[in-house]
Amino acid sequence: MRVLLQRVSQAQVSVDGREIGTCGAGLLIFVCAMQGDTETQADHLVSKIAKLRIFKDDAGKMNKSILDINGSALVVSQFTLAADTSRGNRPGFSYAAKPEDGRQLYQYFANTLAAKGITVATGEFGADMQVALVNDGPVTIWMDTEDR
């Protein structure tokens, strides 16, 4: 499983001009289920993300987690994180999970993150979404459960 985290002051996702998810200070999390991924990988990432100390403390050091700051998260599916650009000029996405598996793992990821006590909003799996954000820092972190 792959995620791209962005520490944000705010973020929102819209479909067809209608806002469907928003978050304040916290994380925008782009999620991609890869072929062969399981709920175990999602559990690992959720646990790590909930504890990841990337928010500033009173001294300005990245020393607090999303839980410590009572932050929220916007979780957006993004199969393009599976892009294979090793050949030619058009990326391939054959490493991404099949849509039905990707949808299930995406929903599981968001629900498991919410179960940790984090307020979670989501995008719409498979939709053409517009994402707006104010990146705080900027702080952007790539995480992958496996070296491929």
Q: How far is CA 137 from CA 54, 60, 68, in A?
A: 10, 11, 18
Asked if 79 is an active-site residue, the reply is yes
Q: Is 80 a catalytic residue?
A: yes
Q: Computed over its alpha carbons, how large is the radius of gyration of the chain?
A: 15
The DSSP call for residue 48 is H
What is the reported pLDDT for 51?
A: 97
Q: How many CA atoms lie within 13 A of 122 on its CB side?
A: 17
Q: Out of 6, 78, 122, 145, pick the active-site residue.
A: 78
pLDDT for position 147: 57
pLDDT, position 146? 79
* pTM of the complete model: 0.95
- Choose, from 30, 55, 79, 109, the residue flagged as catalytic: 79
Question: Which domains does the chain possess?
Answer: 2-142 (3.50.80.10)
User: Which position among 40, 80, 130, 140 bears the catalytic label?
Assistant: 80
Confidence (pLDDT) at 148: 45
Residues 145, 97 contacting (CB under 8 angstroms): no
Averaged over successive runs of 10 residues, the pLDDT of the chain (148 residues) comes to: 98 97 98 96 97 97 98 97 95 96 98 98 97 97 82
- Cβ atoms of residues 14 and 20 within 8 Å: yes
